[in-house]
Amino acid sequence: MAGPRHHKRVLIYSHDSFGLGHLRRCRAIAHSLVDADPALSVLILSGSPIIGSFDFRSRVDFVRVPGVIKLRNGEYVSLNLHIDIEETLAMRSSIIRHTADIFDPDMLIVDKEPLGLRGEVRDTLELLQCRRATVILGLRDVMDDPEALESEWERKHALPALAEYYDEIWVYGLPQICDPLAGLNVPASVRRKMVYTGYLRRTANDAVLTPDLQQIIEKPFLLVTPGGGGDGDELVDMVLAAYEQDPDIPLPALIVFGPFMAPEQRVGFAARAARLQRVHAITFSARLEALIARAVGVVAMGGYNTFCEILSFDKPALIMPRIAPRLEQHIRAARAAELGLLAMLPETRSRDPQAMATALRRLVNQPPPSSAVIPGLLDGMLNVNRLAKKWLDRDRIPQLVMRARASQ
């Protein structure tokens, strides 16, 4: 007969197939959880096509579901398979549920989407609810403009799902900076489930870098990162234009294009960078934390993960946020700038190379984020570990044991 299970299990679901934000956040949380508990295993479900490019700690693994990509018109299509999107979503939903059935987690953490992509997690939520597993929704500090989020969540029936399926909602931020559900008519019962953890502190190991890259970062430099790069062409274009117009900017720049930048854009930008003595460019680094830790300052679009890394490594930062299709980055950057955590290049000046050059010059002498004292700012990982332990310590009979007892 199967005995009690001595190792706890956490399943993390990340819906995104495009970009790096959700994957990197989930990976960081998984690593923090296993570091805090030697009797814990974590499995990540992801649609990211480059999840295999990252290394994972012992007791952390992943299952990749078929990828999808969101078109400019809001519709989804299969990323690599020449099949209908409904077939792709049916496959994803089946894989997610089957994985949850066999892995039988004590806790499920759903990243951002309460019902998953197009509702693909609903069956899994119902399965794990019946098994008395803890179900957590993790939200970043900013979701979107309140009006846009209200319309989106009404269409997706997200608010009822918060009340029906979730035991707790972890907000990876602080209320004095942002409330991700601001402007929504959130029931008091759901509000009581919300716990603000603080931002998720990141660490950088002594990464082994290529000789060429090691040579570039031996001297002081500015790191330019548009995240995944899929929508980072304006940022990269403006930084290159700034160095083209003002070649004596005090510090050289290292631009990391990101794996999702369109090849034709990347080739064009790389050619421009090659003509500039003080600009170096690479396509991708799975160890971006190590580069941020070594940079004098950071120039970025201001996605959640980059913001956490700027805070964690206490780097002066210049943010040029995107404003479409979501206002998330702009809302975060504007509030952080108000608090003195970073500098933001206003939208009215973001297309002016001289304004960018001036901002890059100022970045060298800009105060680091730690000059603004905000209690609990980077307590996110500690609190996630503490909250997870609270739920995982409760009694629950694993499904394997239940099945063994039923067969007697």
pLDDT value at position 324?
A: 81
pLDDT at 207: 64
Q: Could you give the CA distance from residue 131 to residue 399 in angstroms, rounded to a whole number?
A: 7
Shared domain for 59 and 113, answered yes or no, is yes
Strands of 222-225's sheet, edge to edge?
279-282, 253-256, 222-225, 297-300, 317-319, 343-344
Q: Are residues 147 and 75 in the same domain?
A: yes
* Amino acid 121: pLDDT: 97
Residue 58 in any domain: the answer is: yes
Spatial neighbors of 232 by CB under 8 A, at least 6 apart, are: 226, 257, 258, 261, 301
370: left (phi over 0), alpha (psi -120 to 50) or beta: alpha
125, 32: one domain: yes
Residue 110, domain member (yes or no):
yes
- Pick the closest to residue 173 from 320, 328, 10, 292 (CA basis): 328
Q: What CA–CA distance (Å, rounded) separates 165 from 172?
A: 20
| Domain-embedded: residue 260 | yes
If asked whether residues 232 and 191 sit together in one domain, one would say no
**Two tokens, residue 179:** 């409330």
**Is residue 178 assigned to a domain?**
yes
* Domain total of the chain: 2
Q: Residues 109, 169: contact at Cβ < 8 Å?
A: no
Residue by residue, DSSP assigns 190-250 as HHTTEEE--------------HHHHHHTTS--EEEE-TTSTT-HHHHHHHHHHHHH-TT-S
Residue 22 and residue 99 in one domain: yes
Q: Evaluate whether residue 328 is within a structural domain.
A: yes
Specify if 3 maps to a domain: no
CB neighbourhood size of 38 (10 A): 9
Whole-number Cα distances in Å, 234 to 24, 168, 226, 301, 314: 23, 38, 9, 10, 25
| Together in a domain, 387 and 334 | no
34 vs 323: CA distance, rounded Å: 36
Does residue 1 lie in a domain region?
A: no
Same structural domain, 300 and 356: yes
Quote the Cα angle for 183-189-195, to 5°.
75
126/155 same-domain check: yes
One domain for residues 193 and 310? no
> For the domain that residue 15 is a member of, what is the CATH number?
3.40.50.2000
- Rounded Cα–Cα distance for residues 404 and 402 (Å): 5
Residue whose entry in the numeric block shows the structure tokens 């009690």: 4
Q: Which domain holds residue 280?
A: 211-371
The model's pTM is 0.92
Write the DSSP symbol of residue 120: T
List, for the chain, all residue ranges whose pLDDT scores fall below the cut of 70. Answer: 1-4, 17-19, 70-75, 206-209, 348-350, 397-408
Distances (CA, A) of 398 to 2, 100, 386, 405: 10, 12, 22, 11
Residue 2 lies in a domain: no
Identify the three-state secondary structure at position 70: strand
> Could you tell me if 240 and 342 lie in one domain?
yes
Whether residue 317 is found in the same domain as residue 385: no
**Shared domain check, 365 and 223:** yes
